[in-house]
């Protein structure tokens, strides 16, 4: 392969080799999927351009086309992150000169000003969501336990899918998910409320399981058919019930709901940070919009009216 003219050819084997090289360097399954798709899209575009010498200028041209296509800054930045990772791994493995890789790595993302508000449920909506599953059925017991863990502990969907009975232990007279491995392999304890533990117990007793993964797949006739459950399946549970309720939210929005309700209930910001596994408290502040109040906003103090 002539790395001075192109990093890949159009063959399926070469494309798979490059994408696999990047994915193997990642630990998160979500990142593997997202970067894999982003790289397939980029390499398709790259092939359409005639596979010019891969360089900073080529990536900047691709970035410009992404901007012109109307993609959101977040989507563009994800694609550029994947390309920068591609350049780095290609250079490390001898497929691309380091000088070219350094230029590509310097291609910056799209700056987003302000803080994205995101979605979350208020206390009444969150309470309604927990009570929606039909607990006369095995699926309903499982789904209620999933929602309880997400709202009661702020877990990510991947963390819910990976949760084991061995994680759940008594510490200082309360139930805690111990040694939970989260994003960037950060290990943390997650205290959970007694009602979340009660939901887990109700599910486990009905399913007849007490070890291994907590949540498992159930078929259409309400029978346990697997020893595991995927993060996508957890996402689907949240989508199903929130859509029924009329307030459709994504799985990650329950994590934000946990943070919002905990803060409004008087929890210290640092404790929310530790539970969520954020790297620092500033991330948590931005995550829950700590610096902006929507209930006591500046517009509430204007003293103006239409009358």
Structure tokens at 158: 């991947």
- pLDDT for 2 equals 45
pLDDT at position 281 is 84
| 188 backbone dihedrals φ, ψ, rounded to 5° | -150, 155
CA distances for 254 relative to 140, 247, 257, angstroms = 18, 12, 5
Return the pLDDT at 307.
61
At 3 the pLDDT is 40
| pLDDT at position 230 | 93
Whole-number pLDDT of residue 207: 96
Please report where in the chains the tokens 């894999």 appear, as a residue. Answer: 36
| Residue 60 token pair | 């900047």
Going from the N-terminus, what domains does the chain have, and what CATH number goes with each? 12-105 (1.10.150.130), 123-288 (1.10.443.10)
Q: What digits encode the pLDDT tens for the residues 177-193?
A: 999 988 878 899 999 99
pLDDT of residue 70: 83
Residue 15: predicted pLDDT: 57
Alpha-carbon gap, residue 80 to 172, rounded angstroms? 46
Regions of the chain short of the pLDDT cut 70 = 1-16, 112-118, 290-307
pLDDT tens-digit series, residues 204-239: 999 999 999 999 999 999 999 999 999 999 999 999
pLDDT of residue 21: 83
């Amino acid at each position: 392969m002539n790395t001075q003219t192109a990093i890949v050819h159009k063959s399926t084997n070469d494309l798979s080799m490059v994408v696999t090289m990047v994915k193997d360097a990642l630990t998160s399954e979500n990142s593997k999927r997202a970067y894999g798709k982003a790289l397939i899209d980029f390499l398709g575009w790259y092939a359409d351009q005639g596979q010019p010498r891969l360089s900073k200028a080529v990536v900047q041209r691709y970035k410009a086309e992404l901007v012109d296509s109307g993609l959101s800054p977040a989507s563009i930045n994800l694609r550029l992150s994947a390309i920068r990772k591609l350049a780095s791994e290609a250079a490390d493995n001898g497929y691309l000169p380091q000088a070219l890789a350094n230029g590509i790595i310097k291609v910056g993302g799209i700056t987003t000003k302000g803080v994205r508000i995101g979605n979350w449920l208020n206390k009444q909506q969150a309470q309604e969501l927990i009570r929606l599953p039909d607990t006369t059925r095995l699926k309903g017991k499982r789904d209620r336990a999933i929602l309880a863990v997400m709202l009661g502990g702020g877990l990510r969907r991947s963390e819910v899918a990976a949760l084991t009975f061995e994680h759940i232990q008594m510490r200082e007279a309360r139930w805690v998910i111990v040694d939970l491995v989260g994003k960037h392999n950060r290990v943390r304890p997650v205290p959970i409320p007694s009602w979340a533990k009660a939901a887990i117990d109700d599910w486990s007793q009905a399913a007849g399981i007490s070890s291994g993964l907590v949540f498992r797949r159930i078929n259409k006739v309400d029978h346990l058919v697997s020893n595991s459950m995927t993060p996508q399946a957890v996402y689907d549970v949240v989508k199903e019930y929130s859509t029924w309720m009329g307030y459709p939210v994504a799985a990650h929005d329950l994590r934000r709901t946990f943070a919002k309700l905990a803060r409004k209930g008087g929890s210290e910001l640092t404790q929310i940070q530790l539970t969520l596994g954020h790297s620092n408290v500033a991330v948590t502040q931005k995550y829950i919009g700590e610096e902006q109040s929507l209930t006591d906003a500046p517009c509430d103090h204007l003293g103006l009216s239409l009358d």
